[in-house]
Amino acid sequence: MLNEENSGRAKNSQLSLDMKAQASGGPAFRIFHGDCVPGMRALEKNSVDVVVTSPPYNIGIAYSTYKDKKSSEEFLDWCEQWAQGVRRVLKPDGAFFLNLGNTSTNPFFAFEVAQRLCGLFVLQNTIHWIKSISIDKDEGTESYGHFKPINSERYLNDCQEYVFHFTLNGNTRLDRLAVGVPYADKSNIRRWSHTGGRDKRCRGNVWFIPYQTICRRAKERPHPATFPTELAVKCIRLHGKKNAVVLDPFLGIGHAALAARQCSDLVSEFIGFDIDEEYLNVACEVLGCAWATSMQNEQALHSLKYRQLKADIQEGIDDLQRGRVSAKSVDDLIAEGKERLKAPKPDGSA
């Protein structure tokens, strides 16, 4: 149920919020409270351009609702289950950016998950997300980012995670220069024809993105396992398609949604799920929108589709009366409309 009392922000229907967002030029936000597995089944097949997400890592993190400790097999089976949902909604030229990290005691975790998903996707790129680094220079060592203190005689501080760039065929085009960097040696601009005269080269697959420093975690970042907005911004820009629909099935407090808003020149719609009401309240507070349950959203969308279809058919009838189109084309429009209105079945089939 849409919890109006608790969220305090859910006074408008999702539909009117969608419309408001569209009118103001930013992406339309569809934020769902609920399990992303059935949630994604309610979305249209091949309707999402970019998925940017980070699932729980099965390491016993104290989420408010989710229990982060399953057996390894159970966890990997679950990953395959939600990844099937991602595959179903992804457009053929879409991209699935999956952030995963290892732990000192489970150094193969990220690869085990990635390996499990290789039956569903092609791994097109592997990005190394560097969270902190120390660089030795002539004048001394400079450190960047936050070094989480660990007290160990065995393990080094783990300063990096992965972003696996999965696609359906391994040949999805990227806009590499959208996240490119200037040449250090400017003579390269004229030397290489592929620069087209621009002072930009590919950034490569090692991205240094530190967390923003915070003073009070509980207030400023009230979630135990987030990624920085900038990480998701880079993924969306790298995919580069305009009018994109972006999805995060594990929204948390909404960094992927904030990234979508920062990329409003590219993103038309953002869809997010989380099972945790508390986290969604934080996300929606920042985004200025409301969350709702899948069912209510789908009903709202269905009625939007119905009204659009009615308008299309009316237009077809007007054209028929003016002799601009044949009766058959209006029949076809109605038949196609019936398909468009079919509600997805719970198993995700059309």
Ligand X SMILES: C[S@@+](CC[C@H](N)C(=O)[O-])C[C@H]1O[C@@H](n2cnc3c(N)ncnc32)[C@H](O)[C@@H]1O
Which positions touch ligand X (CB under 6 A)? 35-37, 54-56, 63, 65-66, 223, 225-227, 249-250, 252-255, 273-276, 279
Nearest to 30 by CA among 63, 223, 19: 19
| Neighbouring residues of 6: CB distance < 8 A, sequence distance ≥ 6 | 277, 281
Which residue lies nearer to ligand X by CB, 14 or 54? Answer: 54
Provide the minimum distance between the beta carbon of 321 and ligand X in the complex, in angstroms, as a whole number. 49
- Find, among 140, 315, 129, the residue nearest to 230 by Cα: 129
Angle, helices 229-239 vs 255-262, to 10°: value is 50
Instruction: In angstroms, give the least distance from the CB of 249 to ligand X.
Output: 6
**Please, which residue, 36 or 177, has the CB nearer to ligand X?**
36
Alpha carbon distance 287, 307 (integer Å): 27
User: Rounded to an integer, what distance in angstroms lies between the CA atom of residue 122 and that of residue 96?
Assistant: 10
User: Which residue number has the CB closest to ligand X?
Assistant: 252
Q: Which of 332, 304, 327 is nearest to 317 (CA)?
A: 327
- Rounded to the nearest 10 degrees, the angle between the axes of helix 277-287 and helix 255-262 is 20
Nearest CA to 178 out of 247, 263, 268 is that of: 263
Calpha distance 157→131 (Å, rounded): 11
Residue 170 amino acid letter: G
Nearer of residues 274 and 298 to ligand X, judged by Cβ:
274
* Cβ 331 to ligand X shortest distance, Å: 42
Question: Measured from the CB of residue 280, what is the shortest distance to ligand X in angstroms?
Answer: 9
Question: Smaller CB distance to ligand X: residue 33 or 201?
Answer: 33
Q: Give the nearest distance from C-beta 48 to ligand X in angstroms.
A: 15
Q: How far is the CB of 308 from ligand X (least distance, A)?
A: 29
* For ligand X, the closer CB: 35 or 93: 35
CB 226, min distance to ligand X, A: 3
Q: Cα(57)–Cα(94) distance, rounded to whole angstroms?
A: 24
Cα distance between residue 39 and residue 289, in whole Å: 19
Cβ distance to ligand X smaller for residue 195 or 296:
296
Phi, psi of 25 (to 5 degrees): 90, -15
Strands 160-167 and 122-130: what pairing?
Answer: antiparallel
* Closest approach of ligand X to the CB of residue 343, in Å: 21
Cβ-based nearer residue to ligand X, 157 or 226:
226
Q: How wide is the angle at C-alpha 196 spanned by C-alphas 191 and 201, nearest 5°?
A: 70
In terms of CB distance, is 163 or 275 closer to ligand X?
275
Closest CA relative to residue 82, chosen from 40, 132, 139, 22: 40
Q: Which residues pair with 164 in a beta bridge?
A: 98, 126
CB of 283 to ligand X, least distance (A): 7
- Nearer Cβ to ligand X (225/313): 225
